[in-house]
Amino acid sequence: MKKKNNPLVSVIIPTYNRSRILEEAVHSVLSQDFTDFELIVVDDGSTDNTGDILKEHQKNLMVIRQNNRGVSAARNKGIAAASGSLIAFLDSDDLWLPKKLSGQVEFFNSNPEALICQTEEIWIRNGVRVNPKKKHRKPSGMIFEPSLSLCLVSPSAVMIRRSLFDDVGLFDENLPACEDYDLWLRISCKYPIFLMDTPLIIKRGGHEDQLSKAPGLDKFRIQSLKKIIQGGLFSEDQHRAAIKMLRKKCAVYAGGCLKRGRDDEAMCYIRLAEKKFSFPDGASLPLS
Kindly state whether residue 280 falls inside one of the protein's structural domains: no
Identify whether 233 is part of a domain.
Answer: yes
Least confident piece of the model among 78-82, 136-140, 208-212: 208-212
Distances (CA, A) of 149 to 51, 152, 156: 38, 9, 20
Q: Domain range for residue 269?
A: 218-274
Q: Is residue 15 part of a domain?
A: yes
Higher pLDDT, 21 or 277: 21
Judgement on whether residues 118 and 24 belong to the same structural domain of the protein: yes
Identify whether 108 is part of a domain: yes
CB contact set of 171 (below 8 Å; sequence gap of 6+): 71, 72, 73, 75, 76, 179, 180, 182, 183
Which of 158-172, 211-225, 231-245, 267-281 comes out lowest in average pLDDT?
A: 211-225
Answer with the one of 198, 213, 228 that is the final residue of a domain. Answer: 213
CB atoms within 10 A of CB 199: 15
Distance CA 92, CA 29 (A): 11
> What is residue 2's predicted lDDT score, i.e. its pLDDT?
44
Cα dihedral sign, 173-177-182-183: positive
CA distances from 191 to 84, 138, 157 (A): 21, 16, 17
Axis crossing angle, helix 236-259 with helix 218-231, rounded to the nearest 10 = 150
Question: Over pLDDT 90: what percentage of the chain?
Answer: 81
User: Same structural domain for residues 83 and 164?
Assistant: yes
pLDDT tens for each residue of 131-149: 878 888 899 999 999 999 9
One domain, residues 247 and 190: no
pLDDT score at 1: 43
Please name the amino acid found at residue 118: Q
Is 175 in contact with 72 (CB distance < 8 Å)? yes
3 within some domain: no
Domain count, the chain: 2
Overall average pLDDT of the 189-196 stretch: 98
- The pLDDT of 114-137, averaged and rounded, is 90
- pLDDT band of residue 27 (cuts 50, 70, 90) is very high
Tell which of 191, 213, 235 closes a domain.
213
| CB neighbours of residue 61 within 10 Å | 17
> SS3 letters for the chain?
CCCCCCCCEEEEEEECCCHHHHHHHHHHHHCCCCCCEEEEEEEECCCCCHHHHHHHCCCCCEEEEECCCCHHHHHHHHHHHCCCCEEEECCCCCEECCCHHHHHHHHHHHCCCCCEEEEEEEEEECCEEECCCHHHCCCCECCHHHHCCCCCCCHHHEEEECHHHHHHCCCCCCCCCCHHHHHHHHHHCCCCEEEEEEEEEEEEECCCCCHHHCCCCHHHHHHHHHHHHHHCCCCHHHHHHHHHHHHHHHHHHHHHHHHCCCHHHHHHHHHHHHCCCECCCCCECCCC
Question: Can you give the length of the chain in residues?
Answer: 288
β-bridge pairing 158-161 and 86-89: antiparallel
Q: Among residues 213, 228, 243, which one ends one of the domains?
A: 213
Q: Which of 19-23, 42-46, 185-189 has the lowest mean pLDDT?
A: 19-23
Tell me whether residue 57 is in a domain: yes
Global model pTM greater than 0.95: no
Dihedral angle, C-alpha 186, 10, 86, 14, nearest 10 °: -20
Residues 60 and 148 in one domain: yes
The domain that contains 93 carries what CATH number? 3.90.550.10
More confident position, 265 or 285: 265
Residue 140 within any structural domain of the chain: yes
Question: Could you give phi then psi for residue 10, rounded to 5 degrees?
Answer: -105, 120
**β-bridge partners, 125:** 128, 205
